[in-house]
Structure 1
Amino acid sequence: MEELASLNWALIAPLLILQFILALVVIVDIVRNGATNGPKWLWVIVSLFVTTIGPILYFIFGRKSQ
């Protein structure tokens, strides 16, 4: 518990907020988008559990060009 108290939350909090916003944007895009490259449920899992790289991978490879 002492480790959490000694962390510099001023540096970590913006990164956590940015990660949350990025995941939220990806989930909304997956739900609204009619078609993706691959199953939607797989992109949701990848974007949530592969924290920083998952949403970026979705935007590069998962979205279908319309």
Structure 2
Amino acid sequence: MPELASIPWNLLMPLIVLQFILMIVALVDVIRHRRTNGPFIMWIFIIVLGNLIGSILYFIFGRRQV
């Protein structure tokens, strides 16, 4: 485990926090509105498994414009 000690966690922590915040916001949005471009459950899987990129893809392509 000496590899984990050499990782600069203070530089990575903002990106990790941003990822979790964006994922939570995207999940709340998809659950509240349920009107998406494509299947509802597919977007949940993309957001959860795609991490940062999945959340960004949802906000760009997944939200249905009213």
Judge same fold: TM > 0.5, yes or no.
yes
TM-score by length of 1: 0.92
Secondary structure at the counterpart of residue 65 of structure 1: coil
* Letter aligned with residue 40 of structure 1: F
**Equivalent-residue separation in structure 1 for 2:34 and 2:23 (angstroms):** 18
Where does residue 18 of structure 2 map in the other structure? 18
Q: Structure 1 unaligned segments of length 5 or more: list them.
A: none
Where does residue 50 of structure 2 map in the other structure? 50
Shift in Å, 1:34 = 3.6
Q: What percentage of aligned pairs have identical amino acids?
A: 50
Where does residue 4 of structure 2 map in the other structure? 4
Where does residue 27 of structure 1 map in the other structure? 27
20-29 or 33-42, larger mean C-alpha shift = 33-42
- Deviant stretches of 4+, over 4 Å: none
15-24 or 45-54, larger mean C-alpha shift = 45-54
8 Å contact 2:35–2:63 — kept in the other structure?
yes
Q: Alpha carbon RMSD of aligned pairs, Å?
A: 0.9
* Letter aligned with residue 7 of structure 2: L
**Equivalent-residue separation in structure 1 for 2:27 and 2:34 (angstroms):** 13
TM-score by length of 2: 0.92
Number of residue-to-residue matches in the alignment: 66
